[in-house]
Structure 1
Amino acid sequence: MLNLSKNTLYGLIICSIIAIPSFLLGNLFPIIGGPIIAIILGMIIAIFWRDKGNLEEGINFTSKYILQLAVVFLGFGLNLGAIVATGIQSLPIIIGTIFIALILAYIMMKILKLERNTGILIGVGSSICGGSAIAATAPVIGAKDEEVAQSISIIFFFNVVAAIIFPMLGRILGFSTLNGDAFGIFSGTAINDTSSVTAAAATWDNMWGLGSSTLDKATTVKLTRTLAIIPITLVLSYVIGKKDNNNGDNNRDNEGNESEGFSLKRAFPTFVAFFILASIITTIAVALGVDSNLFIPMKELSKFLIVMAMLAIGLNSDIVKIVKTGGKPLLIGGTCWISITILSLILQHLLGIW
């Protein structure tokens, strides 16, 4: 990765330049977010810019390796100690919603005969943490750029709907307006993307003058869900690698390279190991008294790198094909979203939180 060709560097530079306005617009409109803006912008540009010539090498590099690097830096935003201490209350709900979403996604993928990778990406995106989970899973399963773009677009749609209607739904259902714990857990478990979780929780705080109590609770729950990236990616890489090896499949990644079936490297991807290491470093450093604000630049870098990667994925995607084949993925995404919402409410009620 260090010995980059000129073509790769030029492609990286182009992606980073085009990603800047997407990143800034994402900060300006957090309910949409930089990644989805970047994907849409990339797909629009791709309509008019079909022959990318020598730059294609750098664009492919960005969509694959910069995406993995973004996941590594994402680990610096996870203080495992704080998450375990404050997120334990929501753990049964998190486990339950993740389980139901993954099972439903798998069943519907089989019934609708949807491509494996798309079904997996929608399942992990719905159940864990939206775009970040998709970003971590895509390299593990060798997903194509169009599969990633379609999955993130579907997850984004339901995130926006949730961010808009959940505060009203919370009022109708009678969530406590004296503190933000109940709604914070609800939004943190039933909405998967950070920007949409933040939008819904902040709206509830503003509605009832709760300061940032709902937002703090929702963010903690969301970070606790993010930890599920680790076991999910490891299990997927092992299972899929073993299955491909047993079946003698020759799946290809988005660069056209054949997969080699099961291997230790595929079962425990390097970037996932570094993601775990980054989380451990953050946890130990904060425990030793290091100011957690020190890690904010790395968290922001992770966000920008994800925007860069999504831009590259958009450039490699055919928007017409994605729209034409979007019916089945949309149905799976909607089913997962509704089931997570209902189960979150049921479990909260049974646990006496709501």
Structure 2
Amino acid sequence: MPTLLRRFPLLLPGALLCLLIAGAAHLLVAIPELQHLGLGSLTLAILLGLLVGNLGAARFGKLRPGVELSRQQLLRLGVVLYGLRLTFQDIAALGPAALVIDVLMVASTLLVAWWIGVRWLRLPRESALLIGAGSAICGAAAVMASSPVLRARAEHTAVAVATVVLFGTLAMLLHPLLFSYLPHLFGSSKAFGIFSGSTIHEVAQVVAAGRAMDPAAADAALISKMLRVLLLAPALLCLGRFGAADAQAGAKRRLNIPGFAVAFLAVTALRSLGLVPESWLAPLQQLDEVLLGMAMAALGLATRLGDLRREGPKPLLLGAGLFLFLLLGGGLINSAVQHLLG
């Protein structure tokens, strides 16, 4: 704490810039046209950060310490508070099929991302797993949470965010069309909602897609999606064990348990047990939005478009492959599990 107080004057300029960008994104997300696109405040924050950063504002030395604080420490705190959005009770009400489907979808998507990204496309391991985590769990928030666990570079993280936002938006537009023409593809609106919640990338995109369906599908989609969010913590533990690059080639991997992932589960448990006063929830969730928005803004500020161009088309190819897997493979997994457990 004394060290933080001494560094406060150095941290303040960059942190304030991130806060301003996050605030601007929060205001822009209220525009109806952006709401219809399913763009959340986090997505807009990174886009604004990219714009400001590449115009040169983040290159001044005085801004860099605060930007790094937002990109790392504030991100971890934001992920922990994200657990306040979930309860185990809501998830249990959806039934065992939804849990099995989401676990299978998260695990299989990460494995497919590893196989296609690393083995076929020869992407860096952390880049492939970041895109996999964003596709498998909860979009940009999962990418940001996985980034420190995988020790990913800023440009890899930014590419992963852009990729999952792009293909998540395509999924958001496609699912309501499928529901319109094939509403009973999985037997009921509720079952179709579980399919959407288990395969669309972002929470905001699931909400937007659900609004274009009927209420039963929309409710099931959102709860199924939040179950995937809950799986963020165990996924981070697995990524810490198997995903991070070794410090030296051939070095023995060691278990890397991120403390903020454990804290995320603990906060979810406190919410589920009713130990968090209801009057605290709204302000804490608003604080969480601010922290995650600042982290996304910081990521944009720290990323150079020249770095993104150097990544080439391979991340987009991986994102496209995972999009098809979520749609087709996810449909098969949903059909099979709902037939057995539905």
TM-score normalised to structure 2 length: 0.88
Instruction: Map 1:1-354 to 2 at 5 A.
Output: 2-3=4-5, 4-28=7-31, 29-30=34-35, 31-49=38-56, 51-110=59-118, 111-175=120-184, 180-205=189-214, 212-240=215-243, 243-244=246-247, 247-248=250-251, 262=254, 267-285=256-274, 291=278, 294-350=280-336, 351-352=338-339
Inter-CA distance 6–154: structure 2 relative to 1 (3 Å threshold): same
Q: In terms of mean alpha carbon deviation, does 301-310 or 189-198 score higher?
A: 301-310
Q: For this pair of structures, how many residues does the alignment match?
A: 331
| Contact 2:83/2:230 (<8 A) preserved | no
1:295-339 deviation per Cα after TM superposition (whole angstroms, max 9, x unaligned): 233223222221111111101101233134241011111111111
Contact kept in structure 2, 1:118 and 1:147, CA below 8 Å: yes
Contact 1:98 1:128 in 2 (8 A): yes
Distance (whole Å) between structure 1 residues aligned to residue 175 and residue 189 of structure 2: 13
Give the whole-Å Cα distance in 2 for the aligned partners of 1:315 and 1:218. 33
The residue type paired with residue 281 of structure 1 is L
Moved more, 193-202 or 178-187: 178-187
CA RMSD of the aligned region, Å?
Answer: 2.5
Supply the distance in 2 between the matched residues of 1:294 and 1:221 (Cα, whole angstroms): 25
State the identity %.
Answer: 28
TM-score, normalization: structure 1? 0.86
Question: Displacement of 1:100 after TM fit?
Answer: 2.4
- The alignment partner of 2:225 has SS state of helix
In 1, Cα distance between the equivalents of 2:86 and 2:135? 20
Does the aligned pair in 2 maintain the 1:16–1:308 contact within 8 Å? yes
Quote the Cα distance in structure 2 between the aligned partners of 1:106 and 1:25.
35
CA 240–337 in structure 1, closer or farther in 2 if over 3 Å, else same: closer
* Aligned-pair CA distance for 1:214: 2.3
Instruction: Report the 3-state secondary structure (helix = DSSP H, G, I; strand = E; otherwise coil) of the residue aligned with 1:168.
Output: helix
8 Å Cα contact 2:114-2:128 kept in structure 1? yes
Is this contact kept in 1: 2:105–2:198, CA < 8 A? yes
Q: Which amino acid aligns with 2:90?
A: A
Alignment partners' CA distance in 1, 2:248 and 2:310: 32
Partners of 1:179 and 1:21 lie apart in 2 by: 40
- Alpha-carbon separation, structure 1, partners of 2:137 and 2:210: 18
CA distance in 1, matches of 2:194, 2:108: 17
Read off the aligned partner of 1:168 and give its amino acid letter: L
Per-residue deviation, 1:170: 2.1
**AA of the residue aligned to 1:40:** L
Question: What is the aligned partner in structure 2 of residue 255 from structure 1?
Answer: none
- TM-aligned CA deviation for residue 248 of structure 1: 4.8
Query: Which 5+ residue runs of structure 1 have no aligned equivalent?
Result: 206-211, 250-260
Give distance in 2, aligned partners of 1:169 and 1:309. 35
Change (3 A) 1:245 1:323: closer
